[in-house]
Amino acid sequence: MSTIEAQTTMTESLVRSIPQLRPLLDHRVRVIAEDLEQSADSGPSAASFDHYLATRTPWPDDRPALSLEDLVIS
């Protein structure tokens, strides 16, 4: 997938081109653009959730499931 990243200050000309950006006028921003026209099977990000579930490594039976509390770093 082709991706372009740029840092800039949001100007009036950019906001005229993309009106949804108006709240960011005069803010310094990072703009990331991804080419959505490329083939859907171009990489792992194109996999559906069902495909992910079908192909993921199963959790070992001898290990207890993790809870949200287990994931929180104190």
Q: What is the pLDDT along the chain (74 residues), one digit of tens a residue?
A: 688 888 999 999 988 988 899 999 999 998 888 887 865 555 555 667 777 777 778 778 888 887 888 788 76
- The pTM for the full model equals 0.44
Q: Alpha-carbon distance 64 to 60, whole Å?
A: 8
Per-residue burial over 11-44, b = 16 or more CB atoms within 10 Å of its CB, e = otherwise: eeebbeeeeebeeeeeeeeeeeeeeeeeeeeeee
- pLDDT given at position 48: 78
Phi, psi for residue 48 in degrees, rounded to 5: -75, 165
Instruction: Give the three-state DSSP class for 69.
Output: helix
pLDDT at 69: 82
